Amino acid sequence: MTLVKETGEGFENANSYIDGAYLDGYFSAANKERWGKLSQDKQDEVLVSATQFIDLSYKWIGSRKSHEQGLHWPRTDACYPDTEQLIEGVPKAVRKAAAETAAMLISDDPPESLFRVIQEERVRSEKMAVFATEYFEEKNEMPEGGTAYTMLNMILDGLYQSGKPQKTSGLQTAKVVRI
C-alpha cells in the first residue's frame, strides 16, 4: 500500500490526512514504542484506516473542494467554529483526530468497533459492531469515563454537522457495484 498524504490540494489518490512524521511529533513515548515496532506497510495501513474511520464517522461542514478528491477534506464553504474565517486545507483538528484514531488502533486494547488492522495474520473474515452515535445535550459535555469517540467528537467540535441523528432501524443498505 502506498501512502498518499492529503496536503490540502485535494489529491485524487490521497488516502491519509497524516504521515509517520506527524505521528513522531504527536505520539507519547508508549505509542512511539508500539509504532516503531510496526513495519512500514503496517504503519501505512494504520494511517489509512484511521483516516477512513474519521471520514466515514462524520458528516463534515461545507462541501468537498472537488468531486475527484480522494478524501473528504479539503472543503469549501467551511469556517472555523465561532468565526467567519474559511478553513483552507486540512484542519489541525482533523489531523489530530486521525492521530488519536491511529493511537487507538495500535493500542493494546483498541475499541472493538474500530478496524482491526494490526493483526499479525491476515484476516479471513470479520464481523464488525454496528456504529451508533449518541449526542450530548450540551456542547463539550463529557461524562465520567467518556469514550474515545467522545474525545474525537470534542476534538472535531464545530467541523461536523451536529444535531440529532435520524432514527433508523439500525441497519442500512446500499447497492454495491463491483468493477
Model pTM? 0.72
Burial of 173 (0-12, 13-18, 19+ CB in 10 A): exposed
Long-range contacts of 103-110 (CB under 8 A, 24+ apart): 103/27, 103/31, 104/148, 105/46, 105/49, 105/50, 106/31, 106/34, 106/35, 106/38, 106/46, 107/31, 107/34
More confident residue, 152 or 146: 152
Q: Which of 148, 149, 112 minimizes the C-alpha distance to 128?
A: 112
More confident residue, 49 or 124: 49
Q: How far apart are CA 46 and CA 122, in angstroms?
A: 14
Q: Tell me, what DSSP letter sits at residue 156? A: T
Block residue for cell numbers 465520567: 144
Cis ω for the linkage preceding 111 (within 30 of 0)? no
Q: What is the pLDDT of residue 121?
A: 37
Kindly state the average pLDDT of the residues 69-77.
Answer: 96
Domain definitions of the chain by residue range: 20-155
Q: Which three cell numbers stand for residue 31?
A: 505509542
Residue 146's pLDDT band, with cuts at 50, 70 and 90, is low
Residue 170's pLDDT band, with cuts at 50, 70 and 90, is very low
Question: Is residue 63 classed as helix, strand or coil in its secondary structure?
Answer: strand
Which residues lie below 8 Å from residue 97, measured CB to CB, with a gap of 6+? 54, 152, 155, 156
Contact 104, 150 (CB under 8 A): no
More confident residue, 41 or 81: 41
Cα angle vertex 72, ends 71, 75, to 5°? 125
Q: Which three cell numbers stand for residue 38?
A: 510496526
Predicted confidence (pLDDT) per residue in 4-51, tens digit: 999 999 999 999 999 999 998 888 877 888 899 999 999 999 999 999
